[in-house]
Structure 1
Amino acid sequence: MINIENYDTTFSIKNSIVQYLFESSGQKKLIKGVQYSKFETKSGETVYNLGFGDYDSETKGIFDRKSSNNGDARKVFNTVLNTIPKFLKEFPDFPIFIQGSDSHNSFEEECRSSCSKNCNIICKNKDRRIRTYIHFLDKKIKVFSKDYTFYGFDEKKKTFVEYEPKNKYTAILVYKKK
């Protein structure tokens, strides 16, 4: 990965769930987490889903449905990104699936019920998180392609295709090159 300002993380693994926890110290102190959860695809491939959000100490899980707007978004995002090479170093045989929690079909309806933006035709918040990942990847693709292979989910084709910068994808698969 590239050298970018980020928070230190603590690593834990339990029942095939890998977590990197850190303290976001923006306007207030919040515990956040990056969670990699194992699942199998229809074809039987084992993949880990990257989830990110506020850490719930009672459930030991990650709540990814809201933004805490803590004033340190860039450093938090950089921290999330820096867990990817750490994870792939520990688990090089498994790809990472990345999709924003705002990419699900039900998101738009949920958003409209509480949104202050009054989006009439297209929800401006839908797919915002995956667009952030894609924007960053597009800028750094040459650097990352040395060690990783990327695929983007093409909604029209309903399948993953070789990643090409500037295309619209609703999810990304990341593989460590061998």
Structure 2
Amino acid sequence: MNLEVYDLKDTSQEHTHFAFISEGKHGQIIKIIAYQNTGEDSNENPIFNLGFGDYNITTGQVDDRIVTDNGDMEKVLATIAQTVPLFLLHHPTAIIEVSGSTKGRTRLYQILINKYIEEFTDFVTIYGLNDETGELEYFSSHKKYSRFFAIKK
């Protein structure tokens, strides 16, 4: 992907946790990206949920519901997207599941997948959970999905 991204740090030996610093109108904010095994398998392929949020230094917790509004949303999302091939390099049989912590965020993810679909499909096949049928299907820009799944090509 040829998008502007933040410097990224792989913070785990398993290549499942990453960190970077968002810089914008509200200053520097630590962002955490975590691929968490859901404990579910699909045809022996482990399913990992991709989650991210702001790291709270005081509590040591990651908040995935906070609205930072730091003015760098596309750069943040491009940075998150760049972790997908890094993760899949070390977990090639994994299925990555993505859904927003709110309906609005899920809609935002769909908009961004639509915008950058050609870059994503260079290295993954994307599926969506169709809201109308409840079935998994190849991602289509003309349909609404509640969750997204990516599998390494």
The bucket for the TM-score relative to the shorter chain is: 0.7 to 0.9
1:142 is displaced (CA, Å) by: 3.5
1:87 is displaced (CA, Å) by: 1.2
Q: Secondary structure at the match of 1:38?
A: strand
1:53-101, CA deviations, whole angstroms, 9 ceiling, x for partnerless residues? 1013466542101111112222112111111122112211101100000
Number of matched residues?
Answer: 151
The aligned counterpart of 2:47 is: 47
- Relative to structure 1, the CA distance from residue 72 to residue 144 in structure 2 (aligned partners, 3 Å threshold; closer, same or farther) is closer
| 2:76 corresponds to 1:76 | yes
The aligned counterpart of 2:18 is: 20
User: In the alignment, is the contact (CA less than 8 A) between 2:45 and 2:95 conserved in 1?
Assistant: no
Superposed structure 1 runs of 4+ greater than 6 Å apart: none
Measure the CA separation in 2 of the matches of 1:75 and 1:163. 23
The aligned counterpart of 1:36 is: 35
Q: Which amino acid aligns with 1:157?
A: T
Q: Relative CO higher for 1 or 2, CA cutoff 8 Å, sep ≥ 6?
A: 2
Match of 1:154 among 130, 137, 140: 130
- Relative to structure 1, the CA distance from residue 5 to residue 142 in structure 2 (aligned partners, 3 Å threshold; closer, same or farther) is closer
Give the share of equivalent positions with the same residue, in percent. 32
Measure the CA separation in 2 of the matches of 1:146 and 1:76. 20
The aligned counterpart of 2:90 is: 90
Q: Please, which runs of 5 or more residues in structure 2 have no aligned partner?
A: none
Q: Counting strand residues as a fraction of each chain, which structure ranks higher?
A: 2
Structure index of larger Rg: 1
- Relative to structure 1, the CA distance from residue 70 to residue 39 in structure 2 (aligned partners, 3 Å threshold; closer, same or farther) is same
1:15-70, CA deviations, whole angstroms, 9 ceiling, x for partnerless residues? x6821101111121111111111112376642110111101346654210111111
The aligned counterpart of 1:64 is: 64
Q: TM-score, normalised by structure 1?
A: 0.75
Q: Which amino acid aligns with 1:68?
A: T
